Amino acid sequence: MLWQGTNCGTYPKIEPFKDVVPFLKDSRIYKALTDRHKCYGSHVRFFWNAAHYVEDEKAIHSAVRIKDENDKDVDIPVKITMGDVRRVFNLKDKDEDPIIGSERLCKGFWLRMGHTGFINDEAYTKSKFYRPYKFLVHCVIHALGHTKGAYDEACDYIMNIISSLVLNRPYNISQVIFNHMMDNIKGERYVQYPNFVQMLIDDQVHNLSKDDSDELPLDHMDSETLNRLDVYRGGKKENEPKHRQKFAAIKKPDYVTPHDDKWRHDDNGSDDESKRMEPLVYKKTRWWFVKEKRSRKRILKVTMPKVVIKGKTKKQESQERLVDKSFESLTENVNVYVEDTEKKKSPPHLVDEPVITPQEIIEKGVDLLNMSFVVYKSLSTSQVAKDAAKAAENVETEAGGESLKETFVEGEVYTDSSETKSEIDLTQMAPT
């Protein structure tokens, strides 16, 4: 798709990038990089317009339209699975291979590859690499990227693909391509992966009509592309990324990848990226996972201390609680003021009535249970008589108070009606 051949004599302008050319030729993405399959716009667009995903089969179902013997349109069904993507492009991965990786490993590897930018850059661009690695990033973005443009920036999954290829780590490139094809069905559809779709259609439909006027133009790598890659714009010559030696699978095809999330072996004598990795802030996107130690939150349990009154058994305490509950239900709608020494003091009473404590009510209640009905009736009769006498006294007092009131005429001076002799000696007063 991008370039064919690895002979620098055939492509003299590929000389600055020759360090990675043999590596790409031997890699499992070589067919996706170099296959210049002709694409036909009508077939690719019809495929995407008719495409739908069937969950049970884990497959994309679609169709292409051809002409039959009577020159009538006939729709031929097309079914694409992840296995078809793997087989047609010879990607040599497996279903169990991961599609997410360690962000720390990936970015540490890119620093080792010579990236001159900051570790937390929003986007890792190919212009910040030494020429051979700049060429490597450009090839993978152009061939495997799911977008129409933005060939300067490497998406997270593009970074994973390059890291896995150079470090000889497993990565399910077929699943990544298939997932993006599924996403294209769900969203606003456009002609995504046109060369891949055409290759998949041709693998299943062999008598597809092809018109040269319907051919979809694609951008392939040429001498002009190599000229652009050889130039660093907006900077001086001395500020260009420095030369980086070949390493890992680029240097040794049978390279053994380090364990865990390491991007170099411990006994490696090259530069160390630890200092530059210190300010790393994880993005945690769909293509990266981060191994973190989750600290368990401690929940403080508050238990109320149990108060036990000395001299009382548990049975007596339970009986008192039952009495308190029965008292609360009986006095629910009764205006009774109860003293609570542990809470705020109750406001002043507006009515002159005695304050009865719960203990007194309980004791009186117990006394009532012990007396006979005759005694209770006599006590009630005497109490009613006392209440009536007290009420009569209050009425007489109010009536007497009203008789003492006198009427006064406004504007006249009145002396005190009392004949009590004044205690003030007038002769002792000073003259005016």
pLDDT digits (tens, 9 = 90+) for 128-172: 999 999 999 999 998 898 876 667 889 899 999 999 999 999 999
Q: What is the pLDDT of residues 303-316, one digit of tens each?
A: 555 544 555 565 55
Q: Which of 77, 81, 75 is nearest to 53 (CA)?
A: 81
38 and 215 Cβ atoms separated by less than 8 Å: yes
pLDDT, residue 370, reads 59
- Asked if pLDDT for residue 77 goes beyond 80, the answer is yes
pLDDT-derived band at 178 (thresholds 50, 70, 90) equals: very high
Domain ranges of the chain: 12-289, 314-374
**Distance from chain centroid for Cα 234:** 39
pLDDT, residue 107, reads 92
pLDDT-derived band at 13 (thresholds 50, 70, 90) equals: confident
> Which is higher by pLDDT, 162 or 415?
162
When pLDDT is averaged across residues 375-386 and rounded to a whole number, the result is 73
pLDDT-derived band at 205 (thresholds 50, 70, 90) equals: very high
When pLDDT is averaged across residues 81-102 and rounded to a whole number, the result is 95
Tally Cβ neighbours within 10 Å of residue 114: 20
201 and 113 Cβ atoms separated by less than 8 Å: no
pLDDT-derived band at 337 (thresholds 50, 70, 90) equals: very low
pLDDT-derived band at 341 (thresholds 50, 70, 90) equals: very low
Q: Which of 212, 182, 267, 164 is nearest to 38 (CA)?
A: 212
Share of the chain above pLDDT 90, in %: 35
Between CA 232 and CA 8 the distance in angstroms is 22
Using DSSP's 3-state secondary structure scheme, residue 360 falls into helix
84 and 203 Cβ atoms separated by less than 8 Å: yes
pLDDT, residue 265, reads 87
When pLDDT is averaged across residues 21-36 and rounded to a whole number, the result is 93
- Asked if pLDDT for residue 334 goes beyond 80, the answer is no
pLDDT, residue 161, reads 95
pLDDT-derived band at 367 (thresholds 50, 70, 90) equals: low
What average pLDDT does the structure give for the chain?
A: 77
Q: Which of 380, 385, 389, 390 is nearest to 352 (CA)?
A: 390
Between CA 252 and CA 265 the distance in angstroms is 14
Q: What is the CA radius of gyration of the chain?
A: 49
What's the start-to-end Cα distance of the chain, in Å? 130
Taking CA atoms, 70 is separated from 67, 207, 214, 432, in Å, by 8, 15, 22, 145
When pLDDT is averaged across residues 71-81 and rounded to a whole number, the result is 93
Answering whether pTM is above 0.75, one says no
Between CA 247 and CA 270 the distance in angstroms is 10
pLDDT, residue 320, reads 56
> Which is higher by pLDDT, 186 or 248?
248
Between CA 295 and CA 293 the distance in angstroms is 6
Q: Which of 179, 200, 173 is nearest to 95 (CA)?
A: 173
Q: Which of 125, 124, 112, 119 is nearest to 248 (CA)?
A: 112
pLDDT, residue 221, reads 80
Using DSSP's 3-state secondary structure scheme, residue 154 falls into strand
pLDDT, residue 198, reads 93
Tally Cβ neighbours within 10 Å of residue 83: 13
